[in-house]
Amino acid sequence: MTPDRRILAVDIGTSSARAVLFDTNANALAHARRAYTMALPRPGWSEQDADLVADAVIKVLREASGMLAEGDVLAGVVVSAQMYSILAVDADSKPLSPSLTWADTRSADQAVALARIASADLSRRTGCPLQAIYPLAKIAWLKTNLALPDAARFISIKDYVIFRLTGQLVTDWSTASATGLLDVAAHTWDAEALALAQISADALPALVSPRHIIRSWQAEVSQAVGVPADTPLIVGGGDAPFANIGVGAIGPGTIAVNLGTSAAARVLTATPQIDAAARLWTYVADVDHWVTGGIIGSGGAVYEWLLKDLLCPHGDNSGDDLFRDADRLASSVAPGANDLLFIPYFSGEQSPGWSPGAKGLVYGMTLRHQPRHYIRAAIEGIVFALLRVVRAIEDVRGGAIEKVYVTGGLNRSPVWLSTIANTFGAAVVVPRSPESSARGAAIIGWLALDMAEDYAAFAQPEDLLQPNMTIHTLYQERYDAFCALNHHIQAFLADRR
């Protein structure tokens, strides 16, 4: 009997490490998860202990590898991870700083200062607007505020985990493309970006393809994980680009929308399509694909805050019960939320306006409004903010979006899904696998191991939710009002800064 080949995909998130076992068709068979903390020592700071994350990955790999059935063969391990992270390490790759996560904006002043002297072409080459979320500005902060040795190097949390596993320090094009330091078309470090960060290429890891394979593990890690030391480790890439591949949002007119702690929209392209207006970012997805998109930073976190801290429908609700109750309440309100408008930029705006000083707003409140109206308005407001990103993507692509693949923790909510379909005026697909980034990593892994020719080999059946075009017309009017209100409130705030 021919043994069944399996691949183990590890997804390094900001709150947990997940390992998912997939078959050769990228069907999930088993998974394991290990949570870890994110420290918020000051406003705008968001950091993690790199060894805490790496230890969790080793533990989750051990747990998941133990789920292999008798006779199964582990063909390889592949990695996807949170993007934008950066930490300083010494000459022996030991951490000199915490890992600064995507949510860390302590480098806002450095970003503003660097933007003043950067060329207009920098973001067109790197695909990244010069903003505080990117490691370019974060490296400048680390160099200014920490007493780092001359031999210090700057790496992502994913690079550090792979170093802990294999002893090799490399970074893939995908992860590197979300640093603001990579020429995303040439797959090389950008000379101007390096000069702005005041580092040389030697201060960064060696660049490799997302399909690059390392065939030797650290002996003690191999033993701890329970896999042979020569098990292929496919370096992989960023969780956001891999999510597009994992859900099947790979064709013309398709887009992936993530509804997680933050919210984002992305399209996969066969050439780098960079927004000349710097509203969007462009990252490397794979050896011959890129993603263009934007993140609003105001998704599930704002929604959860509204439910738990402000409305709290039943006081003792938590977790899934809270969101199910919110769904029920929102479903009892007609689209339009009884004329409430919700501006969700409670922690500033990222794409497409890149305004860290932006604020949130609930407009149109009257005595007749109840908690259910505010819940409905919040859902609509977050989706309207996403539509601003989608409109910019359509502008860059030169074509309308026809199909939306929805991922993230809120993608099982009928209210959220119907609001997206009716707002975008496009069919919505809910992926069958909830682990979209891990599945994308598994697909890249199988391609790297020559087990398939292209993404199409992993296509899945799709269930479509079609838009109600009458409600779409209403939402077009509400979206126009949302944009006008947002413009006026942010201009009002800017005048007083």
Confidence of residue 434 (pLDDT cuts 50, 70, 90): confident
Lookup: tokens for 153:
């190097």
Q: Can you give the pLDDT at residue 443?
A: 98
Predicted confidence (pLDDT) at residue 143 exceeds the cutoff of 50: yes
Contacting residues for 222 by C-beta, under 8 A, at least 6 apart: 228, 229, 231
Q: Can you give the pLDDT at residue 348?
A: 85
CB 425 within 8 A of CB 472: yes
For residue 309, give the DSSP letter. I
Q: Give the residue extent of every domain in the chain.
A: 5-241, 300-426+467-495
Confidence of residue 1 (pLDDT cuts 50, 70, 90): very low
Q: Please determine whether the domains at 5-241 and 300-426+467-495 fall in the same fold group of CATH.
A: yes
Average pLDDT over residues 116-127: 96
Lowest mean pLDDT among 128-142, 426-440, 463-477: 426-440
- Give the residue with greater pLDDT, 469 vs 460: 469
Per-residue pLDDT tens digits for 480-494 = 999 999 999 988 888
First to last CA, the chain: 71
Domain 5-241 classified CATH 3.30.420.40? yes
- Tell me the fold of 300-426+467-495: Nucleotidyltransferase; domain 5 (3.30.420)
Average pLDDT over residues 196-208: 98
Per-residue pLDDT tens digits for 30-62 = 999 999 999 999 988 999 999 999 999 999 999
- Give the residue with greater pLDDT, 305 vs 139: 139
Average pLDDT over residues 407-434: 90
pTM of the model: 0.93
CB 117 within 8 A of CB 137: no
Q: Can you give the pLDDT at residue 171?
A: 98
CA 103 to CA 87: how far, in whole Å? 14
Average pLDDT over residues 211-217: 98
Average pLDDT over residues 173-183: 98
CB 29 within 8 A of CB 23: yes
Lowest mean pLDDT among 77-81, 140-144, 206-210, 247-251: 247-251
Contacting residues for 169 by C-beta, under 8 A, at least 6 apart: 93, 153, 155, 159, 162, 163, 205, 206
Predicted confidence (pLDDT) at residue 6 exceeds the cutoff of 90: yes
Predicted confidence (pLDDT) at residue 448 exceeds the cutoff of 80: yes
Predicted confidence (pLDDT) at residue 496 exceeds the cutoff of 80: no
Predicted confidence (pLDDT) at residue 342 exceeds the cutoff of 70: yes
Q: Can you give the pLDDT at residue 300?
A: 85
Backbone angles phi, psi at 370, to 5 degrees: -115, 170
Residue type, position 172, single letter: D
Instruction: Express as a percent the part of the chain with pLDDT over 90.
Output: 82
Lookup: tokens for 201:
């290429």
For residue 8, give the DSSP letter. E
Confidence of residue 362 (pLDDT cuts 50, 70, 90): very high
Of the candidates 71, 134, 83, the residue with the CA atom closest to the CA atom of residue 107:
134
Per-residue pLDDT tens digits for 290-314 = 999 999 978 888 998 899 888 775 5
